[in-house]
Structure 1
């Protein structure tokens, strides 16, 4: 599971759906939380949280241009590529923090992923979880 320390920037709630905007490393992230509106309604801007997302939910792109509906785009550098028969694990550097992506080996070969490559890690807002930090 990937984890990024962040702070809440804004919360928008309608019915049982909450959009939680967070900032980490000067970059904005959005998480769509379904069924958590009651808990999230008490969250305030500036509150520390942890953003969490599964490795299998991280898509990768090279030379991505144009508009895209994915809100969470992380500019990363490839640190390591571990090819398996069907799946490939790619370790990325995001502002000094390691992020992992698991993609098909076919996709990894099509992207010709190499150590040092610049890529964008893409995560849909509904695949991003926000966990409130424990009170000290």
Structure 2
């Protein structure tokens, strides 16, 4: 399980759902959608320390220009390790925050021509992230 630590910087509510903005570091804000509101989950308040959790299978890797994608949660890094399997491969990416592990099909890994030292963009959809109180 991958994780980043940060603090809640904004909560937008609509009905029983919220989009929570989490500032991970200066100029790096990720968004998460939860089926909670500040009324049902008291930890959903600005300034609250929080951990973002996301599975290796939820990480999308991109090379080159990834600007025209709808995925807002992204960070750049460098591939540091590849464990190639028959069907699935695991790719470890070093970012300015933490190492991130991604599991993807070996075919996709080969199509992207991933190799150690390659710069990539890590992306995670807002509905694939869980929040955990610190």
Q: State TM-score, norm by structure 1.
A: 0.91
Distance 1:40 1:112 in 2: 43
Deviations 1:67-110 (A, max 9, x none): 21111011111110110000010001111511100000000001
Distance 1:58 1:65 in 2: 14
Is 1:44 equivalent to 2:42 in the alignment? no
The 8 Å contact of residues 7 and 22 in structure 2, kept in 1 or not, is answered as yes
Distance 2:121 2:23 in 1: 17
- Aligned-residue CA RMSD in angstroms? 1.4
Secondary structure of 1:79 counterpart:
strand
Secondary structure of 1:44 counterpart:
coil
User: Which sections of structure 2, spanning at least 5 residues, go unmatched?
Assistant: none
Aligned residues: 132
User: Which sections of structure 1, spanning at least 5 residues, go unmatched?
Assistant: none
Deviations 1:13-59 (A, max 9, x none): 1111110000112211000112x224346522221100000000001
Look up the match of 1:5: 5
Q: State TM-score, norm by structure 2.
A: 0.92
The 8 Å contact of residues 43 and 133 in structure 2, kept in 1 or not, is answered as no
